[in-house]
């Protein structure tokens, strides 16, 4: 099973799965997936605390939630208009493409070539670059990223939420062949 989709992008220590004591882990710090393996422990530097977190979190208090993850039907991301590129509005025209000059006349903005966009070189941080938006999901009083839930549903066999921690904002889920953790969102990210 390819777990690399659950790793961080780039070249950091969370950019590829790693093995520790018979468990293969993949994480991007928001989602953690673990499967049993016969592979030897990874020799490269990897986030040692991940296994400690994974093991310690299983000892917390948990409320049973036995439920299937919802189908994730995406719509086009409202931030990037569905093309996965993050746009930063022009500071001068505030994204309108029009600029009022000192004489009071409105003109096409010369700072952004009247497109209203200052920059288009980053991956959209809302949809992760796939251009699709997924509604965030609420369990109890905690919201979870619709994008990450879609990653679980679309890439793991038979995923099912098993429990939610009573002391923190973490969902525990099982899937055919492994288990995982999904971190809740901070209040600022869903308001």
* H or E element at residue 16: none
What is the per-residue pLDDT across 108-145, written as a single tens digit (0 to 9) for each?
A: 877 676 555 655 667 776 677 778 777 787 777 788 88
Strand duo 170-175 + 23-27: pairing: unpaired
Render pLDDT for 34-82 as a digit per residue (tens, 0 to 9). 999 999 988 876 666 666 766 666 555 555 555 556 566 677 877 777 8
pTM (2 decimals)? Answer: 0.66
Which DSSP string corresponds to 138-160?
A: EETTEEE-HHHHHHHHHHSSS-E
Q: Which residue carries 């999901």 as its tokens?
A: 137
């Amino acid at each position: 099973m390819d777990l690399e989709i659950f790793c961080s992008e780039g070249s950091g220590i969370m950019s590829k799965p790693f093995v520790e004591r018979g468990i293969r882990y993949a994480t991007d710090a928001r989602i953690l997936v673990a499967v049993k393996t016969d592979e030897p422990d990874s020799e490269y530097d990897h986030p040692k605390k991940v296994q400690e977190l994974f093991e310690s979190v299983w000892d917390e208090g948990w409320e049973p939630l036995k439920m299937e993850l919802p189908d994730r039907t995406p719509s086009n991301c409202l931030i990037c208009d569905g093309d996965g590129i993050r746009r930063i509005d022009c500071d001068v025209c505030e994204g309108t493409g029009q600029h009022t000059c000192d004489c009071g006349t409105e003109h096409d903005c010369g700072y952004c070539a009247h497109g209203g966009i200052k920059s288009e070189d980053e991956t959209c941080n809302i949809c992760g670059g796939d251009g699709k938006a997924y509604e965030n999901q609420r369990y109890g009083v905690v919201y979870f990223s619709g994008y990450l839930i879609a990653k679980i549903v679309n890439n793991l066999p038979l995923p099912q939420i098993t429990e939610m921690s009573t002391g923190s904002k973490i969902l525990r889920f099982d899937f055919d062949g492994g288990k995982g953790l999904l971190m809740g969102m901070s209040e600022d990210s869903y308001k």
